[in-house]
Structure 1
Amino acid sequence: MKKYLSLASLALLTPFVYADDTNTQAAPEAFKPHPYVEATIGSATAIDGCDDIDNDICDDKDTGLRLAFGYQLNRQGFVEFGFINFGETSYDLREILSADVTAKAEVTALYGMGGLILPTQYAEFYGKAGFALTQVDISASGPGGTYSVDGTGFSAMGSAGVHVPLTKNLGLVGQMDYVLDAGDEDKTGTSDMFLISAGARLSF
């Protein structure tokens, strides 16, 4: 009887043992603790860049670029540092001033963030928040010469995105970034900045 009970117990336990092994093997290597680098490119918008200005003379959209280095701590958390170039907001004043006058404002940011991950079988959805050191460089040119001014500011920043691992080391990334009040209120003025981009992640 004891032998039969032992065999029966073994038969009952075996599926659970196999299931545990399967779950362990199914956990993607890309979800384990590791450093990573990312590069994405997309569309950037200066949310307040054209406030009270005719759209015919102001363009608040440009190509944006994001580069990042991070460390995934576990399946639920990570830290990240990076650089974003939001491109330029451009102004063409030639028609209203009857002179060859143009201006542009370029916005960049260095940031540090922490985030939480919602892992699924095939992808990671995540949100992150932190702060960015932003810089706005404004330049203008016209018949009277050229003019330039720059300003920096400390801004809150939030992001949300998805990471889809393709292999152990390579994955696809899609992300939205929002920075509040980039720039210096007194020197350059400020604008909220938005970037939606896609690219690749290389994990180590």
Structure 2
Amino acid sequence: MSDTGYGDFEFERRFLARDVPGELLDAAPALIVQSYYLADGGYALRVRAQASAVDVPVDLALDEATLLERFADRVDFCAVTVKGPMAGGTRYEAERQLDPQVGVEMVRRGGARVAKLRYSVWLGEDGWVVDVFAGGNVPLVVAEVERGGPVTDLAIPGFCVTEVTEDGRFANDALAHAPFGVWAAAYADELAATGPRFLPGFGRDHRMSGT
């Protein structure tokens, strides 16, 4: 739960990323495997298993179940989360931490899965996460910033191609059932035709130089 006065509501903005500078991805990432017990209309019930600071190479081509098994003994954080639909960069999200062994078993027995490497970086005045997806969602990379209140006046890194905050196709619960790898080519054509899009109404966003 947030301690900012907004209860269980989270504020975030998400961007399709490309050509992320290599130095931002030098630190050992977390490997995250998520299982969705429910994903319908933006509502989701998710169990996450996470192995922090993975310092060995990870083959992103491996499927989500195989990645979970390869790193199951390194999982050090698990949680069950209930989410509501995204609206204007705001989403209901209530989380409860689980015992890692229980969490791993829940992911094994759950529904559709998503796996990704998560890198945490500090850019400008914000902490960002860069998620490099594995399995069926290769070659998707999503950069995300989260704050305790509305994400306004944002310095957007140059590697952010277009904003996907309100594009439901890029929600993790949607990607579990319709992996990006299946529709990546069609989306590339769509983006070429429409051009990038950044949401209005969030103050004075600007492009960050040097990224």
The alignment's TM-score, normalised by the length of structure 1, stands at: 0.26
- Larger RCO of the pair (alpha carbons < 8 Å, separation 6+): 2
Q: Which has the higher strand share?
A: 1
Q: Which has the higher helix share?
A: 2
